[in-house]
Structure 1
C-alpha cells in the first residue's frame, strides 16, 4: 500500500514532510502542466518517479500504481488535477459515472453545467468563446444582449490569472480576445473565454476533504478585495469565520450540495462562492488543497487542515469524518499589492515587516531595487508577499493589517511614467 502524489507544488509542497512523518511510502509525479505554468521551476522533487507527465501516459501510470499497490492519489496543485482525477477513476478511487475522465473538475463550462444540472445554483453563463468564434465574430452578436457588468475568465486556469470584471461590450470584447490569443496558463490547448453573470456579494471560500464520499469542512473564510484598474479583482486579505456563524452554516450546506452534484469521492476541494440575498453561488472550484500555504495557517488556528486530514486518512488514522472546527485565535492573511507599478527602494529591507509583534509568519519575496507591476492576480501578490497577522479580536486584526501595509508602502517609490 502506498500513496501517489501528483504535483506537490504551491501548498502541496508540504505533503512530503507530512507523508514521511506518517511513515507512508509515496511516489511523486510532476506533470508537464506544472512546468508550463511555472508552478514548478524544475526543482528537485523527492520520490519523483515520472517527470514531465502528460495524460497520454495515463495507462502506463495506472500500471505503475497497480504494481506498487497505490491506494491513495493526492493532488498537490491545480496543474495536477486532470491527471490525478483520471487516475482516481482508473484505480477505482473516484466515480466514473459522468464518463468525462474527471474533466468536470477543471473545465469550467463543464463544471458549471454539471452543478447546474443537479439543481445547485451557479452563475448564468452568457457564452464560451474560442479563437475561432472570435475570428468569425460570433462573440459580438452574443454579447449584444448581455447585462453588464459581467465576468470574463479562461476556461482553464488558476490563481485568478485572466479573470476580470468588465462594464461594457467593448471591454468584454477586449478581455475575450486577450484570453483566446494568449497561451493557456498550463500550456496545451488554446484557452477559451467564459463570460458569466457577475454575482454581487461577499466572496467566501470553503475548504473540504472527502473520503469514500464523506465530506468534511476544515475551514470557511472570506475575502476582502478591490478591483484593479483593468477590472481584475485584487485580494486584500483572507479571514477565517467561526464555525458557529450563520454564514458558515449556509456555506457548508451549499458546499456539500456542490460536492454531491459533482459526485466527488476522495481528496481536497477548494471552493469559492459569492453569498448574496439569494444564497450562495459557486464562483470557482479546484479539486486540490487551498494554495499559497493557506492550510498551514488553518492548522495553526484549528489543529487540522486539508493536508493533515488527507495524510491522516491515508495512514488509516481517521476512520470517520469529523464535523466542524474551532478557531484558536483571530487572524488573517494579508496579500500585499500595488495599485500602480512601483519599485522597492534599494535601501529597503521588505522582510523587516515580518518582525512586527502581530505577525505570526509570512513570506515576502519582494526584493530591493526591483520594479513590480500593478497587481492583477493572486500570483502577482505572491511575488510581493503574503503575511499571516493576528490580533486580540477581528477589529484589532484589521488595525494590524493596515499597519503592515503602511510599513510595506513606505519602502516603495513610484515608477516614472507608469501610466
Structure 2
C-alpha cells in the first residue's frame, strides 16, 4: 500500500517492516531516530500500537509485537517501524464504481494516550466533504484510491494532515467500522453503507450523487466510551444513563449487569460508542464532558 502510494508521488510515512528486533532497532537508529510508531503489519483497532521516543522504547515495542498474536489471533511475523506523524487525523469513507469515486463521509479524529501506551479513541466529528477544510484531504484520498487500485469497492482511508500536507496512514477496500449507518444517514442524508447499496442497485443514481453538497443538519460527535479501570461487576443501568442525556441520539453498547468489564486500552476494549447531536455545539460538548465525568466517577461499576 505504502509503496504504491509513494510511487504515485503521494506522501507516506518513512518506515519499514522487519522480522527481527535487531534489524528493526538497527534501522531505526541509523535511518529514523526521534519519535516513532511501532505496530503489527496486519491488525486493527490500535492493537499493540506503541509510540516510542528512543531506541530502547523501539526495541521493547518491537519485542512485544513479535511475541504477540494480532487481533485475529495470528502470530505477528513482522513488525512495522514508522516515523510518528504529527498533525490532525482524518478518515474518509468512500465508494467507487469503475474507477469513479464518491466521498460519503469525512470525519476528524480526536484520540488520547491510553494506559498501555497505545492511542485510544476519544471522539470524532464530521467535516463537510465539500468544504474548504476538507478539500486537501479529499483530493489526497481520491489520488490514493487510484494509486492502490481501488476501482469498485467501498474504502476506508486514514490520513494525517501535517505541516507538509496530507500523509497516508492506511487505506482498506472495506466499509468503515464502529458506526451506525442509519444514524449517520438520518443526520447527514447519506452514509457510506447506503451509498454502497446505491452503487450496487442504482449505478445511474450513484454516478449523479453530489458528494460536495452540504449535508450535516446538526453538530455531531461520535464518542467512544472509555472505562478508566477494570470493573469486576458492571452496574445494571449504565447504558440507560447514557441514553438519557439530552443530546444522545444513539448508543452502541450492551451492558451485562454483574459481568466484568476490562479497562479500555484500545478500540476493542472500549465498552462501545454513542452519538451526540444538537443544533448548538455547546450542548454536545456539555454532554460529552458529563459522560467523561461519569466514567471517572465509576459509571460502569456502580
TM over 0.5: yes
Secondary structure in 1 aligned to 2:198? Answer: helix
**Shift of residue 345 of structure 1?**
5.2
Indicate if the aligned counterparts of 1:350 and 1:368 stay in contact, CA closer than 8 A.
no
2:2 corresponds in structure 1 to 112
Structure 2 CA distance for partners of 1:141 and 1:296, relative to 1, 3 Å: same
1:228 corresponds in structure 2 to 114
Structure 2 CA distance for partners of 1:169 and 1:224, relative to 1, 3 Å: same
1:196-225 C-alpha deviation (Å, 9 max, x unpaired): 011101111111100110000111111111
1:141 corresponds in structure 2 to 26
Runs of 5+ unmatched residues, structure 1? 1-110, 415-419
Structure of greater Rg: 1
Alpha-carbon distance in structure 2 between the residues aligned to 1:171 and 1:244: 41
Alpha-carbon distance in structure 2 between the residues aligned to 1:390 and 1:319: 28
Equivalent residue runs for 1:16-165 within 5 Å: 111-125=1-15, 127-130=16-19, 133-134=20-21, 137-145=22-30, 146-165=32-51
Q: How many residues are treated as equivalent by the alignment?
A: 297
Alpha-carbon distance in structure 2 between the residues aligned to 1:260 and 1:346: 49
Q: In the alignment, which of 202, 222, 242 is matched to residue 353 of structure 1?
A: 242
Alpha-carbon distance in structure 1 between the residues aligned to 2:276 and 2:126: 12
Structure 2 CA distance for partners of 1:311 and 1:345, relative to 1, 3 Å: closer
TM-score, normalising length from structure 2? 0.90
1:376 corresponds in structure 2 to 265
Alpha-carbon distance in structure 2 between the residues aligned to 1:396 and 1:151: 36
Structure 2 CA distance for partners of 1:177 and 1:321, relative to 1, 3 Å: farther
Structure 2 CA distance for partners of 1:342 and 1:263, relative to 1, 3 Å: same
Structure 2 CA distance for partners of 1:412 and 1:138, relative to 1, 3 Å: same
**Shift of residue 287 of structure 1?**
1.2
**Shift of residue 369 of structure 1?**
3.5
Alpha-carbon distance in structure 2 between the residues aligned to 1:413 and 1:289: 30
2:125 corresponds in structure 1 to 239
1:13 corresponds in structure 2 to none
**Shift of residue 150 of structure 1?**
0.5
TM-score, normalising length from structure 1? 0.66
1:240-285 C-alpha deviation (Å, 9 max, x unpaired): 0123432211110111110111121011111111112211111122
1:398 maps onto 2:285 in alignment: yes
1:186 corresponds in structure 2 to 72
Structure 2 CA distance for partners of 1:249 and 1:413, relative to 1, 3 Å: closer
Q: In the alignment, which of 379, 388, 409 is matched to residue 275 of structure 2?
A: 388
Indicate if the aligned counterparts of 2:92 and 2:105 stay in contact, CA closer than 8 A.
yes
* Higher normalized helix content (fraction of residues): 1
**Shift of residue 304 of structure 1?**
1.3
Q: In the alignment, which of 174, 179, 184 is matched to residue 60 of structure 2?
A: 174
**Shift of residue 188 of structure 1?**
4.8
**Shift of residue 346 of structure 1?**
4.1
Alpha-carbon distance in structure 1 between the residues aligned to 2:180 and 2:300: 30
**Shift of residue 348 of structure 1?**
5.0
1:268 maps onto 2:150 in alignment: no
Structure 2 CA distance for partners of 1:167 and 1:338, relative to 1, 3 Å: farther
Indicate if the aligned counterparts of 2:14 and 2:82 stay in contact, CA closer than 8 A.
yes
Aligned Cα root-mean-square deviation (Å): 2.2
**Shift of residue 301 of structure 1?**
1.7
Secondary structure in 2 aligned to 1:314? Answer: helix
Alpha-carbon distance in structure 1 between the residues aligned to 2:189 and 2:199: 15
Indicate if the aligned counterparts of 1:123 and 1:199 stay in contact, CA closer than 8 A.
yes
Indicate if the aligned counterparts of 2:129 and 2:138 stay in contact, CA closer than 8 A.
no
Q: Bigger CA drift: 328-337 or 349-358?
A: 349-358
